[in-house]
Structures are given as structure tokens and as C-alpha cells.
Amino acid sequence: MPDYLDDLRLAHVLADAADAATTDRFKALDLKVETKPDMTPVSEADKAAEELIRGHLGRARPRDAILGEEYGVEGTGPRRWVIDPIDGTKNYVRGVPVWATLISLMEAGEGGFQPVVGVVSAPALGRRWWAAQGHGAFSGRSLTKASRLQVSQVSKLSDASFAYSSLSGWEEQGRLDGFLDLTREVWRTRAYGDFWPYMMVAEGAIDMCAEPELSLWDMAATAIVVTEAGGTFTGLDARPGPHSGNAAASNGLLHDELLGYLNQRY
């Protein structure tokens, strides 16, 4: 089985370059922000970071395909790098430090492309998380200064901490009643948003999280970090991996109940 460690090291190099570019423009008074056709914002920093990563990959992995949020798909083949240059752009443009660059390598296999490497780098928080298939998940300042991640062992909803992004998406999908029922059953809820809840599930700091509408680049890197930390990452339809257009992540012990409430089976 491939060990993917060279790809993981490359992903760290890509994240270092992106961190330097995004941090340099964070809170810049002259930051240019546009509205995309889907009415979400994109900043000049999003575009610059993705261009930078694509340039590095073009030199280091010229045979690999690339899928990025801002510039789409380039290339074909069994290996595809998936990039979200700034996950949490709305935070970024308002000066909120909860944003990250998400970098994943996906490989073709049974059931389609699956993530085999993931790096989530949040420079404004001073945090980075990563994983490679079969090697576990870690967090730290560098590959050599890292702590292994492990999900929690909380097994009761009444003891569980649940994180989410917002209420509006659940309402739009007709899932709000089940969502609210879940919030009444758990010990604690917090709306951290974006990549961060998934990383806290992987760390064991919280026990489960979910979002009703996401893209592949929002999930590919976070999915492998959660699963390599011993957790479960699926769509709301229970399909494993980042392919359902939405996500539910947990320590595994609470996953069936999480999906049950969000699909209003309880």
C-alpha cells in the first residue's frame, strides 16, 4: 500500500506557501472582495493562494489533476489534489481569525475518488492539522513537532458537545425540527463554523458536528483527518466520505443518533 508520506510533506510545503500569502493580506484595508455568481464572497487572497498552490503542484506533480474552488478542474487521471484556498472567506474578509487553507490528495478507487492525504492550516489561529491514509492524524507546528489526534469516547448524547455553522441551511432543507431536537438532547452546542468543528472532533474536544450544504473542497481534507483520528465522516445520507454535498462527523459512537435526528427519524 502506498505510504503517501512524500505527498503529505508536499502538502505541508503548499500550506506554508499559502499561509504566507493569506496572512499577509489578512485585515488589509485595501483587500479586494468580489461576489461570485452563487452570492458568496471571494477575495484577492483566495485567488492568489490557489494560484500559488497550483503553480507549486504544476512543478512538483505535473501528472496529477487539480480541483480548486476558484479555478475548477485542471487535468485528469487517478490522482487529484483538491484545494480550498480559504475556507471561511466571510470570516477572513471581516477580520475573524477562523479560516484555513484546505489541501487534500484524492485517489481513484472503489466508490470513486477518496481522500488519502489532508492538511488543514489555520495560520491566524496558529494551528495546523493533517493526516495520511494509514498513518493517523496529527496536529502541531510541523511534521516533527506534532501530537497524535484521537476522537473522544463520549457515548451518550446527554454528555455530548455538538457544533454547527448556522441555522438557516437546516431550515431551508426542512431539517430544522430534527436539528433543534438534537440540540435539546445534547450537553452543549456551539456554532464554531467551517473547518474548525471537524478538527475539534478529531482532537476529541467536541463529539460531533454537521453541516447541511458543502462542496467537495470543503470536506476532502477534513474527512481524512477525522477518520484517521478514529472518527466517522459521512454525508447526512450515511454515505462514507466527502461526496454527499453535506457532512456529519462524530467520534463514531454517536453517529447513528446524530444522523437519526438530522434526518428526523427520532
Query: pLDDT in tens for each of the 266 residues of the chain?
Result: 678 999 999 999 999 999 999 988 787 666 777 776 665 766 778 888 999 999 999 999 999 999 998 888 999 999 999 999 999 988 888 889 999 999 999 999 887 899 999 999 999 999 999 999 999 999 998 888 899 999 999 999 999 999 998 889 999 999 999 999 999 999 999 999 899 999 999 999 999 999 999 999 999 999 999 999 999 999 999 999 999 999 999 999 999 999 999 998 76
Residue 240 contacts residue 234 (beta carbons within 8 Å): yes
Amino acid letter, residue 11: A
Q: ∠ at Cα 116 (18, 126), nearest 5°?
A: 35
Q: Whose grid coordinates read 485585515?
A: 27
The C-alpha cell at 141 is 507546528
The 10 Å Cβ neighbour count of residue 261 is 23
pLDDT at 166 (0 to 100) = 86
Report the binding-site residues. Answer: 69, 84, 86-87, 218
Extract the annotated binding site for Mg(2+).
69, 84, 86-87, 218
pTM of the model: 0.94
Q: Give the pLDDT confidence score for residue 1 in this predicted structure.
A: 63
Residue 179 and residue 258 in contact, taking contact as beta carbons nearer than 8 Å? no
Instruction: Give residue for cell 481513484.
Output: 108
Cell digits of residue 222: 477534513
Q: Are 153 and 241 in contact (CB under 8 A)?
A: no
Q: For residues 207 and 3, give the distance between their C-alpha atoms in angstroms, rounded to a whole number.
A: 29
Rounded to the nearest 5°, which phi and psi values hold at 52?
Answer: -65, -45
Helix axes 5-25, 44-60, angle to 10 degrees: 150
